[in-house]
Amino acid sequence: MSAPRGPADPSGLERYYVLTGGRSGPGGSAASLDVATLVVSRTAPLPGMQHEHEEILRRCREPLSVAELGAHLGLPFNILAVLLADLLEADRVEARDPIPAHGAGSGPDLALLEEVLSGLQRL
């Protein structure tokens, strides 16, 4: 059984409202973010930054997808997108489109699959 929540214990929707300053979605360049977008830090966290911004900068020293970042931080996509918009606007992170698979949508490369099968058969 969970402990009762008091007015000083922001949780759920109240917590998200506080984290985003009441914003419900990202604007500007962050509007094109999706779950596969890779995020990488450009700077280290600064003293006095919002805790979630610090966490994003720490976790994204190496490129991390928005989906993975959301899972690590326990935040829904729209809330995370607002936080990322803040960091993008401040030029503290970079958002990169994922590297598309060669010939995406055309199925697996048959020659590559044959090479893998051949290699497995030799084992």
pLDDT mean over 24-49: 82
Per-residue pLDDT at 116 exceeds 90: no
Per-residue pLDDT at 28 exceeds 80: no
HSE, side-chain direction, 13 A CA sphere, residue 48? 0
pTM comes to 0.66
pLDDT mean over 33-41: 90
**Average pLDDT of the chain, as a whole number:** 79
Task: Give the model confidence (pLDDT) of 56-110 as tens digits.
Answer: 999 999 999 999 999 999 988 888 988 999 999 999 999 988 766 555 556 666 7
Percent helix, strand, coil in the chain (nearest 5)? 45, 10, 45
Residue pointed to by tokens 């994003």: 56
Beta bridge partner(s), residue 95 = 39
The vertex-63 CA angle with 57 and 79, nearest 5°, equals 55
